[in-house]
Amino acid sequence: MEANFNPDKQHTLCSAVSISGTGLHTGIMVDMTMKPANPGFGIQFQRVDLPNKPLIKADCDLVTDTSRGTTLQIDDAKISTIEHVLAALVGMGVDNILIEVNGPEIPIIDGSSEPFVTLIAKVGVLEQDAAKAWYSLDENIFLYDEDKRVEMVAMPAVDYQITTLIDFNSPVLGTQHAGLKTIKDFKTEIAPCRTFCFLHELETLLEHDLIKGGDINNAIVVVDKPVTDDEMNRLAKAFKRDKIEVKREGYLNNLELRFPNEPARHKLLDVIGDLALIGYPIKARIIANRPGHSTNVEFAKKIKQYIKKNKHVKDVPVYDPNLPPVFTLQQIEKTLPHRHPFLLVDKVIELTDKQIVGVKNVTFNEWFFPGHFPGNPVMPGVLQIEALAQTGGILCINSMPEGEYDTYFLKIDNCKFKQMVRPGDTMLLKMEMAAPIRRGICEMKGTVYVGGKVTTEAILVAQVVKRNT
C-alpha cells in the first residue's frame, strides 16, 4: 500500500490487467483478467467460458470444497484455488473488482500471492468516492475443531492483525509461527510465501492423477522421511526433470526458502485469503493454531454470522442527554405543523444534509397506552412510523431553500417491527437520505433504536410541498 492510502475509502484497480497460467489441480491453462468495479460491487468471479457467463461472489456461504484449496460454486459454475488472489486483493486494499476467468481454476503461477500483487501494483489502486464500512468485534469469537486440533480466535482490535502457528510433528518443519502486525506489510512479508506439501502427500496426489498443473517450482515439498532412488526417479519423470534431489534441510529440489518460516507465513496468507470470504472488512486480531482451508472457511462463516447479527450496532446513534439538542422542541414546532398530542419528536440531536437523529421519550402517560393495550402498554407500530416520518420531515425541509414547507408521505416499503416499544423507553429516530431530493420527492431509510437494538425499520418516500401563505 502507498503511504497516502486511505483505509476508510473503497478502492478498485486503475485499469484492467491480465495474467495466464496453469491451474494447479486441473492442469488447464487459464486466462485471468482483473477489471475495475463500482463501489459496493465487492469481489466477484466470472466464468466467461460458460453459457451466460455466470458471476460467483466471493462469499463463504458459496464454498463447496476445501480439500485441495478453496472452491466457490453456484449451480454448475465453480472456481477453485481462489485463496492466493483473494489474499493479494486484501493485502493491496482492493475492495471492488471483477475477475474474469476462462477456466475452473485460478492460475497457480509460483504458488504464492506475489504474482497477483505485482499485477495490481503495475496498474495501481484507485480510491473511490465511497466510504469503507469497517466492522469491529465487541467480543471474542472462537472456533475449535477437536479432531483436527485446530484453534482459532478473533479478538477486538483497532487494526487487522494475524498470527498463525503450525505444528505437523515434522523434524524438518518443527513448530513455526508467523505474524502480521499490519496489512501494510503484506506485500513484502507475506505475499512471496509459497504453498507447501509433504512428499507423501505429493505421491498420493500423483497416484490419483491430481495436481496436473503441479511443478516443483510452485510449491515447497517437505521430505521428512527416507526416500529411495526409485521414488526419486519416479518423481523426476512425473515432473519431467532429469534429476530431483533432496536438500540436506529436507526440501525437494534446489528450492531456496524465501523466509526461514515460509510455510507458517503461507498459512497466514491462506487465512487472509479465506477470511476475505466473510464479505465484510473487519478490524480484529486473528490467532490461528494449525489452520487449514476447511476450518478457515468455517471460521469465516462464524464471523459473518456474528456481523450480520450485530451489524446494526455500528450504526446506533450515540445519545448523551447532557449535550444540548440541535433542534429544541420549540424549533421543531416552528418547522412541523404537528402539535400535542400528535407531535412525536421531543428533540433533534444530530442533523446534516443527509442524516437526522431525533429523540422520543416514551412515558406511561402517552394518550394511546390506555387503549393499546390495557394492562400491557405497547406503542403502536404505526405511531413509530409516524415518529420517523416527522423526523424525516425535518430533514427534508432543512434541505430545501428558504421558505415554509410541509411533507406528505407517499409510500412506505420494507417495514419491519422487531422489538416492542414500552413505557420508559427512549426512542432514537434515525432517518438517512437514500437518494438526492428530485422534484420535491425525498426517499429515506428510517430506523428506530431502543437500548442499542433496532425496533423498527422502513423505507419512506415523501413529497415536500411549499406552503401557500
Assess contact for 165 and 243: CB atoms under 8 A: no
Over the range 48-63, which residues count as b (16 or more CB within 10 Å of their CB) and which as e?
Answer: eeeeeebebebbbebb
Q: What is the DSSP letter of 277?
A: G
Tell me the helices (H) and strands (E) count for the chain, helix number first: 9, 24
Beta bridge partners of 432: 355, 445
Catalytic residue among 177, 312, 338, 372: 372
Instruction: Please say whether the beta carbons of 423 and 373 come within 8 A.
Output: no
Q: Domains for the chain: give ranges and CATH numbers.
A: 9-194+258-313 (3.30.230.20), 329-466 (3.10.129.10)
What per-residue confidence (pLDDT) applies to 211?
Answer: 55
Across the beta sheet with 77-79, what order do the strands follow? Answer: 63-65, 71-74, 77-79
> What is the separation, in whole angstroms, between the first and last Cα of the chain?
59
Q: ω into residue 341 within 30 of 0, thus cis?
A: yes
The total of other beta-carbon atoms located within 10 Å of residue 115's CB is: 20
Phi, psi of 344 (to 5 degrees): -115, 20
Digit-by-digit pLDDT tens for the chain (469 residues) are 777 899 999 999 999 999 999 887 677 899 999 999 999 999 999 999 999 999 999 999 999 999 889 999 999 999 999 999 999 999 999 999 999 999 999 999 989 999 999 999 999 999 999 889 888 888 899 999 999 899 999 999 989 999 999 988 777 788 999 999 999 999 999 999 998 877 766 666 666 555 554 556 667 777 777 777 777 777 766 666 677 777 666 776 656 889 999 999 999 999 999 999 999 999 999 999 999 999 999 999 999 999 988 776 667 888 889 999 999 999 999 999 999 999 999 999 999 988 999 999 999 999 999 999 999 999 999 999 999 999 999 999 988 887 788 899 999 999 999 999 999 999 999 999 988 888 889 999 999 999 888 899 999 999 999 887 6
Cell matching residue 384:
413509530
Other CB atoms closer than 10 Å to residue 271's CB: what's the count? 29
Dihedral angle computed from the Cα positions of residues 296, 153, 58 and 39, in that order, rounded to the nearest 10 degrees? -160
Pinpoint the alpha helices (H) of 78-139. Answer: 83-91, 114-123
Residue type, 445: K
H or E segment at 396?
helix 381-398
Maximal C-alpha separation, the chain: 100
Helix (H, G, I), strand (E, B) or coil at 293: helix
C-alpha cell at 112: 504464492
Three-state SS string over 161-186 comes to EEEEEEECCCCCCCEEEEEECCHHHH
Of 219, 25, 50, nearest to 105 (Cα)? 25
Is 293 labeled as catalytic in the residue annotation?
yes
- Give the pLDDT of residue 386: 96
Please list, in sequence order, all residues whose beta carbon lies within 8 angstroms of the beta carbon of residue 170, skipping any fewer than 6 positions away: 198, 222, 224
DSSP result, 299-350: HHHHHHHHHHHHGGGGGPPP--TTSPPSB-HHHHHHH----TTS----EEEE
Judge whether 266 counts as a catalytic residue. Answer: no
pLDDT of 200 reads 67
Q: Are 316 and 326 in contact (CB under 8 A)?
A: no
**Active-site entry in 208, 293, 312, 340:** 293
pTM for the predicted model, two decimal places: 0.70
Beta bridge partner(s), residue 357: 350, 430
Q: What is the pLDDT of residue 174?
A: 81
**Whole-angstrom distance, CA of residue 422 vs CA of residue 297:** 41
